[in-house]
Amino acid sequence: MNKEMLGALDALEREKGISKSIVIEALEAAMVSAYKRHYGQAQNVDVEFDEKKGDVHIFSVKEVTEEVMDSQLEVSLKEALKINGAYEIGDMIRFEVTPKDFGRIAAQTAKQVILQRVREAERSIIYNEFSAYENEIMQGIVERQDNRYIYVNLGKIEAVLSKQDQIPNEVYQPHDRIKVYISKVENTSKGPQVYVSRSHPDLLKRLFEQEIPEVYDGEVEIISIAREAGDRAKVAVTAANKDIDPVGTCVGPKGQRVQVIVNELKGENMDIVEWNEDPAVFISNALNPAQVLDVIFEPNQRACTVVVPDFQLSLAIGKRGQNARLAAKLTGYKIDIKPESEWEKIAAENEEELLEEVLEANEELVVEDVLDEAVEEISEETTSEESTENATEEIVVTVEEDEE
């Protein structure tokens, strides 16, 4: 048994990467618990594992005291001095108390500890491995499903695909091979839990990187993605090199490149548009295939009104508003779409209102000017009358002086 235990510890360290010292610490702690469970005492027990022979020794640790109150915890100074004349009060002495039948208990305990450590190591390895794959895509095999999840075998672990992460109307059969996006990896008490998705927008980004070398190399950059899984998606792309057509590069000859992605996503329609630093141009591109006549932005807001020809209004809005909704997600702007005729009417009404405001403002200015002139005239007349009265008074004073 001792050789088997040492061999097991060496194998753990060699094959699983579990340090022997860590397992021995866990073994010693487990032996203390086992001793307490079988013999009812553990508060002053030490366990020592012999790494060379594989033997386990149990020691009872007692304190040297003048008077013994508890024989299980204390030893008298007189008894201690018989063992070693150097002992003093307060010293701790270890007495071996290994039971004769403790080897069987030790073997069972060691087996449980080793198995537990193996499980923990495997869980840790799986967690670390799949944590590195978080936000990446992997190919898995559909195994089974219940009311909550579809279970996808990724090799070393079974991942879960929730209903909200599934593509609507996509049917998953056992043994189907599917590509999934690793959205989250958790280390739970039951072991690592991997959550995968087929509806996440970044699944589309990773598929573009897999199928289009220029996207993987960074020559073509994906700026944003708006997606309604299983139905339609819009992808905004750009290229730093002006000689590269980012849209054409992603579409490929006769649409071959993008068709591979469409097939993987069970026919999801794909609009690839060119990103532009000018928001008006970008919004116009995002509403493709509709033609945009004008883009009017709201001051200090990420909102705009887009004017389109009357006959393309339904095309710009899309079925159930999908085209406009995806364009808004793609650009980050709130988009209000108006037909040309309605916008002209609104513009004309706005011009009339503006003209009325200007006229009212001019009338107010005219009235103010008239009032100012009237006030000036009254002031001048008043000044003139006062001057006349003063002059008359001066004449009267002069006549009176002459008569005297």
DSSP one-letter string for 109-148: HHHHHHHHHHHHHHHHHHHHHHHHTTTSEEEEEEEEE-SS
**CATH superfamily, domain at 2-129:** NusA, N-terminal domain (3.30.1480.10)
Taking only the tens of pLDDT, the chain with its 404 residues reads 466 667 777 777 777 777 777 777 777 788 777 777 776 665 678 888 777 777 778 888 888 898 888 777 888 888 888 888 888 898 988 887 777 777 777 777 777 877 777 788 778 888 888 889 999 999 999 999 988 899 999 988 899 999 999 998 889 999 999 999 999 999 888 888 999 999 999 999 999 999 999 999 999 999 999 999 999 999 999 998 999 999 999 999 999 999 999 999 988 999 999 999 999 999 999 999 999 999 999 888 899 999 999 999 999 999 999 999 999 999 999 999 999 998 888 877 766 565 555 555 555 555 555 555 655 665 655 555 555 455 445 434 444 444 44
Cite the beta strand spans of 240-371 per DSSP E.
269-274, 294-297, 303-308, 334-339
CATH 3.30.300.20 location in the chain: 202-275
DSSP one-letter string for 338-353: EEHHHHHHHHHHHHHH
* The dihedral formed by the CA atoms of 279, 285, 287 and 292, expressed in degrees to the nearest 10: 80
Residues linked to residue 305 through DSSP beta bridges, in sequence order = 296, 336
Query: What is the structure's pLDDT at 401?
Result: 46
- Topology classification of domain 134-197: OB fold (Dihydrolipoamide Acetyltransferase, E2P) (2.40.50)
Evaluated on CA atoms 312, 313, 317, 320, the torsion sign reads negative
Query: What is the structure's pLDDT at 399?
Result: 40
Is it true that the peptide bond before 201 is cis, omega within 30 degrees of 0? no
Contacts of residue 63, defined as CB under 8 A and 6 or more positions apart, other chains included, come to 73, 74, 75, 90, 91, 92, 93
What are 246's two structure tokens?
């980012």
Evaluated on CA atoms 367, 368, 371, 373, the torsion sign reads negative
CATH 2.40.50.140 location in the chain: 134-197
Contacts of residue 322, defined as CB under 8 A and 6 or more positions apart, other chains included, come to 228, 231, 232
Query: What is the structure's pLDDT at 53?
Result: 75
User: How far is 13 from 368, CA to CA, in rounded Å?
Assistant: 98
Say if residues 299 and 261 touch (Cβ distance below 8 Å): no
Query: What is the structure's pLDDT at 376?
Result: 63
Query: What is the structure's pLDDT at 400?
Result: 44
DSSP 310: G
| Longest Cα–Cα distance in the chain | 159
The yes or no reply on domain 202-275 and CATH 3.90.1150.10 is: no
Contacts of residue 96, defined as CB under 8 A and 6 or more positions apart, other chains included, come to 57, 58, 59, 60
CATH 3.30.1480.10 location in the chain: 2-129
